[in-house]
Amino acid sequence: MDQEIFIAKNKYISSKRSAELFGYTHDYLSRLAKNGVIKGKKFGRAWYLDENSLKDFIKDILLFLILFFIWPNIAVSCETCLQKSENLVIYGRNSRKMV
């Protein structure tokens, strides 16, 4: 079967091709489609995943990673910078002197 099919102007990609593109196993992506997490259709033994639904899923995962793993580290770094800058006295536009 083809790796891509179109149904009602929606592009569906085989779970095997999706796995190659996005770095997940095709079994995992098929299971997501079977459980309704990603829109998908089964033809014979092969799952085909809606491209837009798959991209939305990937975006949600990336957003989760940013909010819960990357952002807290940035916030801590900024807080540390602010605490250190409280000890600075600003002279003029670009110069700073420690008190």
pLDDT at 98: 44
Output the CA–CA distances (angstroms, integers) from residue 76 to 3, 41, 60, 62, in the order listed: 45, 44, 23, 20
Determine if the pTM surpasses 0.75.
Answer: no
HEC string of 21-67? HHCCCHHHHHHHHHCCCCCEEEECCEEEEEHHHHHHHHHHHHHHHHH
What is the pLDDT at residue 63?
85
Is 69 within 8 Å of 50 (Cβ atoms)?
no
Following CA atoms 32, 38, 42, 45 in sequence, which dihedral angle do they give, to the nearest 10 degrees? -30
Q: Give the residue numbers spanning the domain of 69.
A: 4-98
- Per-residue model confidence as pLDDT tens digits over 39-95: 999 989 999 999 999 999 999 888 888 877 776 666 556 555 555 555 544 444 444
Q: Considering its fold, how many domains does the chain have in total?
A: 1
Q: Taking CA 28 as the corner, what is the angle to CA 15 and CA 42, rounded to the nearest 5 degrees?
A: 45
Q: pLDDT tens, 15-33?
A: 999 999 888 999 999 999 9
CATH number of the domain that 64 lies in? 1.10.1660
